A and B are shown apart, each in its own frame.
Chain A
Amino acid sequence: MNCDGVSNLLSAYLDGELSPGELLRVEEHLRRCHACADEVDSLRQTMALVASLEEVEVPASFQVQLHQRLVALGPPAAAVRRAPAAPAWQRNARHWAVPAAAAAAALAIGLTTYGGGSNLPPIPGLQSQSVYNVPPQATQTANNTKPPTTELVTPPVPGTNDVKPSDPPKVADTTPKPIDTVPVVTPGPLATDGTKAATTPPEKAEPVNTAKQMVYVYNVTVPGPLDPKVEERVLGEHTNVEKGNNTLTLVVPAGSRLDMLDKVQKVYWPGATFVDASHDTATEINGAQLRLEAAQRQLEDDRKDNMEQAVADDQKAVADAKAYLDLLKWQTTRATIVVTFTPAP
């Protein structure tokens, strides 16, 4: 083989990517040809120089910017196209990060049970998600906190990250009245021009409901560790089960909560005790309703003023407020039973 024939193989030679036949020919040639041996040496140095480039740090802003872009995007387009049955709130609701403990616990339930009411399978186990895996203690504490009566729960709206937990909602700026005296308002249809809100069919918001709207939560305590046989049985018999650190969380339709509690105490873990941590979420729902209406008013105002950029933000705010309201309402249709085990010594 002459130098021309070998030269093109030297790069792959250095990577050990030659066929046995090629390798034999190249090595044979290199033993005889000084120039090609020099070439190999230069190429080796070249590769080493390139490889010596140091890794750079990812700028701190990268993750923040990416997060903002992803959240602003909404769900992957194809997912929306292929799963028209999934209501908009299901697709949007998981973007919420709720700071208030009560709201966090409530949302954790929503996330845990997400999918339970649809044709989508439940997905457990994101241990590092801040709001997803609220430990039972936190859930209990949160649930034992009485719902605020004059304060609105104000989760930050995705896309408006400057809303701090302590910021009062816009509606409270102008209507600082107790919730139960706020007149019933039936807002108009949602935005219908080219935003996510447009994909949601216009619908009338329901009147403010002053009746109790319970989120059912039961904290069950079982002495001793989790018996794998019982675990297997529970998993076999129930769809929405999530295993945590020394906990099993079962989510069932609200209507069958008492039967389920009975089963937990008599069949699965005889002798287990439980604490009813259910709470009335009517206040939160009213708050979310008001927030939605405020967002809708803001949208109308900005439309009238032809504030294009603001309108886009407003439409997003309306969609998000709607999603949160739907999530809260949906939570009242489910019961969560958190079974905590004493870890093995």
Chain B
Amino acid sequence: MPATYVSNNAPDGGGVNQVSKSLDELLVERAKRGDAEAFEQLTGQYYRKVYNFAYRATGHHEDASDVAQEAFVRAYMSLPEFRGDSSFQTWLLRITQNACLDELRRRKRRKVTSLDEPMSVDDGEMDRQLAIADVSDSPEQALERVEIQRAVQESINALDEEYRVVVVMRDIQGYSYNEIADALGINLGTVKSRLNRARHALKEMFGRLELLAPRVVYSGRRGKSHEL
């Protein structure tokens, strides 16, 4: 850890007044004063997470890039409002969700005339995934894996934005219910209910796409409690 202290000798001659700060706090302070590089150093660790969130929520690299950039620009511009009440990550997450929801709603309005068109996912990304597919996969396996990913992403795309966002946050990015509630400004009950609906909707779609394996029940293992 590099030096992380500020020697703050009070102008009134108050003697030693050493303030310890974390590197993040120092970076926040610098960025607040317009140091873009400090801001980039501060947020660089979140590029991947924010970008992936945006990609899974929008389904396209181009939109993901727009959303993620918008999120970081908003964060930068509203940094002076960041008071440290929540962690920086939580705060950034909230801004990212808002940027993402705004973009999804904007897209929805824009595409209102073409609702019947199937939402497709980024072909380029699929090609890329094929190219880097696990070498132990046979070509058929690789193709199947990529096709499954495509189908899953298209199903997520088919969800309304409110549901899409919670399912990406929870099942892809692993945020807790509390973090999701905090980021979206909704209560825990709403998180539960949206997640429940989103997963049931996805389950229906996956079922139709034959992505779900039937459950094999071994009656002997289920024992006496198995009443049916």
Q: Which A residues are within 8 Å of any B CB, using their own CB?
A: 7-12, 15, 17, 31-34, 37-38, 41-43, 45-47, 49-56, 58-59, 61-63, 65-67, 69-71, 73-80, 82-83, 86, 90-92, 94-95, 120-129, 232, 234-244
Contact of A236 among B7, B65, B171, B217 (CB under 8 A): B7
User: Contact at B78–A78, with CB atoms within 8 Å?
Assistant: yes
Contact of B196 among A10, A66, A73, A78 (CB under 8 A): A10
User: Contact at B172–A46, with CB atoms within 8 Å?
Assistant: no
User: Contact at A239–B52, with CB atoms within 8 Å?
Assistant: no
User: Contact at A73–B77, with CB atoms within 8 Å?
Assistant: yes
What residues on A are CB-neighbors of B38 within 8 Å?
Answer: 126, 129
User: Contact at A91–B33, with CB atoms within 8 Å?
Assistant: yes
Shortest Cβ distance from A234 into B: residue: B7
User: Does B142 count as interface, using CB distance less than 8 angstroms?
Assistant: no
Q: Roughly how many angstroms separate A63 CA and B36 CA in the complex, as a whole number?
A: 12
The 8 A CB mask of B197-228 against A (1 = contact, 0 = none) is 00110110011000111010100000001111
Q: Roughly how many angstroms separate A33 CA and B13 CA in the complex, as a whole number?
A: 75
User: Does B192 count as interface, using CB distance less than 8 angstroms?
Assistant: yes
Within 8 A of A (CB), among B1-53: 2-9, 15-18, 23, 26-27, 29-41, 44, 47-48, 51-52
What residues on B are CB-neighbors of A32 within 8 Å?
Answer: 225, 227-228
Contact of A73 among B27, B35, B73, B152 (CB under 8 A): B73
Shortest Cβ distance from B75 into A: residue: A76
What residues on B are CB-neighbors of A45 within 8 Å?
Answer: 203, 206, 211-213
Contact of A42 among B9, B35, B212 (CB under 8 A): B212
11 contacts between A and B (CB under 8 A): A8-B193, A8-B196, A12-B192, A31-B226, A51-B171, A51-B172, A62-B69, A67-B40, A74-B34, A79-B33, A120-B33
Q: With A63-B47, A79-B80, A243-B5 known to touch, is A38 a contact of B199 (CB < 8 Å)?
A: no
User: Contact at B27–A126, with CB atoms within 8 Å?
Assistant: yes
User: Contact at B196–A50, with CB atoms within 8 Å?
Assistant: no
User: Contact at B167–A50, with CB atoms within 8 Å?
Assistant: yes
Contact of B40 among A7, A8, A70 (CB under 8 A): A70
User: Contact at B7–A235, with CB atoms within 8 Å?
Assistant: yes
What residues on B are CB-neighbors of A70 within 8 Å?
Answer: 36, 39-40, 72-73, 76
User: Does B156 count as interface, using CB distance less than 8 angstroms?
Assistant: yes
What residues on B are CB-neighbors of A232 within 8 Å?
Answer: 16, 18
User: Contact at A76–B152, with CB atoms within 8 Å?
Assistant: no
Majority-rule SS of B interface residues: helix
Contact of B69 among A46, A51, A52, A69 (CB under 8 A): A69
Shortest Cβ distance from B199 into A: residue: A11
Shortest Cβ distance from A69 into B: residue: B73
User: Does B177 count as interface, using CB distance less than 8 angstroms?
Assistant: yes
Task: Please name the 6 residue pairs, one residue from A and one from B, whose CB atoms are nearest each other, closest first.
Answer: A75-B34, A236-B16, A78-B80, A243-B3, A235-B7, A11-B196
Shortest Cβ distance from A28 into B: residue: B225
User: Contact at A49–B148, with CB atoms within 8 Å?
Assistant: yes
What residues on B are CB-neighbors of A128 within 8 Å?
Answer: 41
Shortest Cβ distance from A17 into B: residue: B177
Q: Roughly how many angstroms separate A56 CA and B53 CA in the complex, as a whole number?
A: 10
What residues on B are CB-neighbors of A53 within 8 Å?
Answer: 56, 149, 152-153, 172
Contact of B206 among A49, A71, A121 (CB under 8 A): A49
What residues on B are CB-neighbors of A235 within 8 Å?
Answer: 5, 7, 9, 16, 18
Q: Roughly how many angstroms separate A129 CA and B4 CA in the complex, as a whole number?
A: 14
Contact of A121 among B6, B153, B215 (CB under 8 A): B6
The 8 A CB mask of B105-116 against A (1 = contact, 0 = none) is 000000000000
Q: Roughly how many angstroms separate A53 CA and B41 CA in the complex, as a whole number?
A: 28
User: Contact at B15–A76, with CB atoms within 8 Å?
Assistant: no
The 8 A CB mask of B67-98 against A (1 = contact, 0 = none) is 01100110011111100000000000000000
User: Contact at A79–B32, with CB atoms within 8 Å?
Assistant: yes
Shortest Cβ distance from B192 into A: residue: A12
Contact of B192 among A17, A55, A239 (CB under 8 A): A17
Shortest Cβ distance from A75 into B: residue: B34
User: Contact at B129–A125, with CB atoms within 8 Å?
Assistant: no
User: Contact at A125–B23, with CB atoms within 8 Å?
Assistant: yes
Quick one: which of B5, B76, B203, B217 has the most chain A CB within 10 A? B203
Q: With A77-B77, A78-B81 known to touch, is A50 a contact of B202 (CB < 8 Å)?
A: yes
Q: With A69-B73, A76-B77, A126-B30 known to touch, is A50 a contact of B156 (CB < 8 Å)?
A: yes
User: Does B99 count as interface, using CB distance less than 8 angstroms?
Assistant: no
User: Contact at A123–B6, with CB atoms within 8 Å?
Assistant: yes
User: Contact at B9–A238, with CB atoms within 8 Å?
Assistant: yes
